[in-house]
Structures are given as C-alpha cells and as structure tokens.
Chains A and B, each alone.
Chain A
Amino acid sequence: MILRMLPWAYLLAAFVFIYLPVGTLVLFSFQEGSLPVPPFNGPSLRWYGDILGDDDLTGALLNSLLVAFGAASVSVVLGFLAAYGLARHVLPGSAVMRGLLIAPLTVSYLIVGLGLLIVITRAGLGLSLVTAAIGHVVINLPIAFAIIYASMGAQQQNAERAARDLGASEAQVIRLVTVPMLMPAIAAAFFLSVTLSWDEFIIAFLLTRFDVTLPVEIWSMLRSGLSPRLNAIGSLVFLVSVSVVLILELLVFRRRR
C-alpha cells in the first residue's frame, strides 16, 4: 500500500516544488494589503487596476511584445533560410557552418549582451528596442535553425523534387511545398523564440535605454521593494507565456495527429 502511494507522493512533491513559487506569486497578486506576505487578506483586483493604469508599465508590456514578435519573426526567417540552404545544397564546409550557427547557444547571455553593447556604442548607434531585438535574434536564431533543420527530412525533399518535376520554380517550391510541410517546426521555433525573448532580462537590460521591455521595468521597480504590484505583473507575464504555449499546443501539435 505504502509502496503504491510512494510514486504519487513523489509526483506531488515534484509538482509542489515546481509550482509553489508561481502559485504563491499569483495568490498574493490578489492581496488586499500593500505587502505580498501572509496572512492573505483578499481577494482583490486592486493591484491589477493599479498596474494597468500605469503608463510606464503598459508601455513596457507593449514594448516587450513588439521585441518578442519582431525578434522571433527575424530569427525564424533567417533560421529557415540557413536550414534550407544547408539541408538542400552540398556546400563546402557545411559541417563547420552548422557548428558556427549553433555555437551562440553555448555563449552566456551576459557575454552576448556585453559584446553587442560594445559593438553598438562603438558604431555610434543609439540603444533602443531595435538593438534589444537584435540581441534576441542572436540568441534565438540558433534555436530556430536547429529546430527547423532537424525536421527537414527526405520526405520534404522528395515532395520538393516532385514539385519541381511538375513545373514549379524554386520560389514556388519553397512557398507551396517546403514552408507548408515544415509549418509545425516553423511555428514551434517561432513561439519558442517569442517566449524566450518575452522574459529575457540581461540582454534587454544592457541594450535598451529610454524605452525598456517589461523584465527591465520590473527590475527597476524591484529596487524600491516588494509590492503586490510586482506579483500582479508577474502573474500577467506568466499568463502570456502560458497562452503562447497553449496556442502552440492547439495550433501545431494537435493538427499533427
């Protein structure tokens, strides 16, 4: 009896470990008082009203969405083109090229951010949301490339060959056959890039100045101490990430079956 319960107890403990912090965060975002600590005296939507009325915060939220979707779009387009080129053509040193494309994954975000900061200030370009998005492309491109490259198999190649045989030009082959067939991988790469870019802090912190993304805004608020406002923001960030994952699940993986 005890032995049969043990795996369930273990499972429960694991989930508590993973979700207790998130659960606490969400719970105290509904706190009535001004400190997110027990005892809980709510529920109240006071702090949600507060943050949604804060122009700095809603501005940062929009900036984050802009950077996340922009960087993800660029990463997926570049990643797809690199994967298509390397999977479909015999190029000299293609193994080295593949390695170089994946390598940025192993570099810490801090190093990527610092490197870009030096380059951008030296080049005399101002820091803005665009520079933060460039930083996110640097970290997302290898992931997008790896996901799309891995799903380019012989099946697509044969279908592409058949399409060419039926009179399709190279552009038509990519538009009508390759991209639609790779849609699950492309969408997975896109939404993964969105979620990674959405709550990325270090690069965004180093490469933005006046317009900042949400994680940077939260960081500056944190310096003035704990408040249920932060819990409310955190809950919203969490809600967006969960939604993206759910969209991915519903749109991409459900259709595959």
Chain B
Amino acid sequence: MTAPVILAGLNHWFGPFHALKDIDLTIEAGEYVTLLGPSGCGKTTLLSVLGGFIDPSAGEVLIGGRDMTHVPPAKRPTTTMFQDYALFPHMSLRDNVGFGPRMAGMGRAARNARAEQLLGMVGLASEADKRPHELSGGQRQRVALARALAVEPDVLLLDEPLGALDLKLRRAMQDELKSIQRQVGTTFVHVTHDQEEAMAIADRIVVMNAGRIEDVGPPARVYRAPASLFAADFMGEMNHLPARITVEGVETPFGLIPQALPPTGRAVACLRPEAITLGEGQVRIGPARVRDAAFFGTHARAHLVPDATPDLTLVAHLPPGAMPAPGDSLDLSAAFDAFRIFPVKE
C-alpha cells in the first residue's frame, strides 16, 4: 500500500523556538524521500509531525488526500521505524513483527504466517523464535523494518535508521532498504544527516536547515546545482571563491564567467573539488603550488594555493594515478558550468 503526502504551510514552535518554518512539500506515492540536514535542523520534528507524535502549531498534513493533521499515530496510515528500533524485548521476533496485525485483530495463525513472511523478506526467517537481545544491531534493524511493514502502512517513516550501524553494514543496509522499498512500493520518508546515505538511497532529497527547506530534488541535481549555498555546502566539499555579479557576467579571481544573473554585486562562486582539472580549460586557474596531498583510492585530495590568489586555498580531487608532492606546481582549470554562483545578501 502506498499514498502521496502533502505538507502545506507547516509551522511549529517549541516554546519560543521556531522549529519548522513554512514547510511546503509534496511527496509522491511510492517515492523514497530523505530529509537531510544537520542536527537541530528540524528534520526529526518534521518526521514526528508526519507520524502524528507532534501536533503542528499551524499548517496541515494530507496523507492519501485525507487530512491527518490532528489524527493520533495509531489511527494514521503511517508507521515509524525508531532510531533505537524500540523492539519489544520480552517477545520473540515473530511476536514483535506480528504485534501490529494483532492490534488490528488478526488471528494467531494468520499473523504468525504474516510475521514469518516478512521475517523471510528481511532474511531472518530462521530466527523467528529468538528474542531481540540475541540479535546483532543490523538484525534488530531488519526486525524493526519487518515490524513496521507488517501493518502495511501507506507511508513508512524512518528516523535515522542506520545511525547505530558501522559503515560497511550501513552501506549494505542502504541497498537493502532501497530494494525492499521497490518491492513493497510503500512511500518511504527517511531522516538522515549523512549526505552520502541520502544520495545512495533517495529518489529525492529534501535539504533542511534551521527549520526551513533549503532545496528539494533528485540527488544528482541537488549535488550539481544546489538551490542555496547551505545545500551546496552540506551535500559535499565545496570551494568558495569571492565573486562579483556584473552586467557582463560573474567576475572571479580567475576571470569572467558568462552567466546571465541580475547584477546584485557581491557573490560566492562555488566549485566542487572534483571539478578542478589539470591543464587547459574554459576558466584558467593557472599555476598553483601543492601544499599537501593525500591518497583516497578513487582520487588524490590536495590543498592547492594558486599563484594568482596567494591567500586562497583550494581543495581539489585529482586523478589518483599521479600523486602530487608538496611544493609541486600544477596548472589548473575548470569548466564554466562547474561554477555555482550565490549572491551574498548585504
């Protein structure tokens, strides 16, 4: 089962603290959306509003076209997968997963069959009689997922579900979550502060900061063409260059970039580290001295000081084959469309 979600004009205050500011968001049925942002940005508050654990101060929540703003969690077509999994320690895995169907009045045989089917889906069919404390972190996470899906929610809400897992397991679980979501077709809303996780898993990423939505879009778009400076910085490493928007284009320390923007004066030109290339290009950064470099497997990450701007240090991801040594001089450039320009409000 699946349903679209519409959030309109949501605002929420915790006392004097404005936690959600004018949130408008539409999530399609069957979509995998991640809410991405630093801690305290309001992403978990937004999830709690969706799940019915927080009654928003203003605005409305529509799920499958019905107004759910003030409906308690038990009566919503949503289930939440909590950060600490919140499994019932005194029940077997079968009873944990069968809890939701039991509350819905399903008989013992039917709900055991349903629980075993879902445990099979997450690869724990043979562990149905175990208790949660006998499982590893990753297994508990799977049980929590099976338990949440057992009630066939229209929307599954995941609150930093992979936060407690080690990196390797987290990457494996991301793939699994995604494939299970494809299989069941339920709308997933997933909260995380890890931008790699968001990119790996989401159809669309919602970048949040200080209670506001900064950017919404598919991972590649949000990474390459972020809507705000905050989104640009949060999605990955970013070089900031001082710039100036004039009628002719954008003036940077490395020359003019032809972009038709309203001439608002001071601006920041952003350049991803991997967009800095060796040799000739549309924008010539020119010779730069290597301050230090480290080998990362897929690339060499170097700090470079261009001769043209001695007080600016650039971070570049260079091909890993030729490791630069500190003190080397490299000739650098970048393409016009690699730059993102954000006007600075004065």
Contact = CB atoms under 8 A, between A and B. Distances in A.
Chains A and B form a bound pair: yes
Interface of A: 155, 158-159, 161-169, 172, 176-177, 180-181, 183
A73 B288 CA distance: 81
Nearest to A177: B88
B82 interface: yes
B131 to A, nearest CB: 11
A161 B89 contact: no
B86 interface: yes
Interface of B: 51, 53, 72-74, 78-80, 82, 84, 86-91, 99-100, 103-104, 147-148, 151
Given A161-B53, A162-B80, A167 B86 contact: no
B100 A181 contact: no
Nearest to B51: A165
A167 B82 contact: no
B188 to A, nearest CB: 16
Nearest to B72: A164
B147 A161 contact: no
Interface of A, secondary structure class, is: helix
Contacts of B89: 155, 159, 181
Contact of A181 (B88, B103, B104): B88
Contacts of A169: 74
A165 to B, nearest CB: 5
A254 to B, nearest CB: 15
Given A166-B79, A167-B104, 6 more contacts: A155-B84, A159-B86, A164-B74, A166-B74, A167-B74, A167-B151
Contacts of A158: 82, 84, 86
Contacts of A177: 88
B84 A165 contact: no
B143 to A, nearest CB: 12
B88 A165 contact: no
Contacts of A165: 51, 73-74, 78-80
Contacts of B90: 180-181, 183
Contacts of A159: 86-89
Contacts of B148: 166
Contact of A166 (B53, B72, B151): B151
Please indicate which of the listed interface residues B91, B100, B103 has the most CB atoms of chain A within 10 Å of its own CB: B103
A168 B103 CA distance: 6
B71 to A, nearest CB: 12
Contacts of A161: 53, 73, 82, 86
A168 to B, nearest CB: 5
A74 B130 CA distance: 34
A187 to B, nearest CB: 13
6 contacts: A155-B89, A164-B72, A166-B74, A166-B100, A166-B151, A181-B90
The 10 closest A-B pairs by CB, nearest first: A167-B103, A166-B100, A162-B86, A158-B86, A180-B90, A165-B73, A167-B74, A168-B103, A159-B86, A165-B80
A155 B132 CA distance: 13
A72 B151 CA distance: 39
A162 B51 CA distance: 11
- For B73, B89, B90, which residue has the most chain A Cβ atoms within 10 angstroms? B90
A164 B73 CA distance: 7
A177 B87 CA distance: 10
A172 B74 CA distance: 12
A146 to B, nearest CB: 23
Contacts of A166: 74, 79, 99-100, 103, 147-148, 151
A37 B331 CA distance: 106
Nearest to B76: A165
A161 B87 CA distance: 11
B171 to A, nearest CB: 26
Most B CB within 10 A of own CB, among A165, A176, A181: A165
B140 to A, nearest CB: 13
Contacts of B51: 165
A158 B140 CA distance: 15
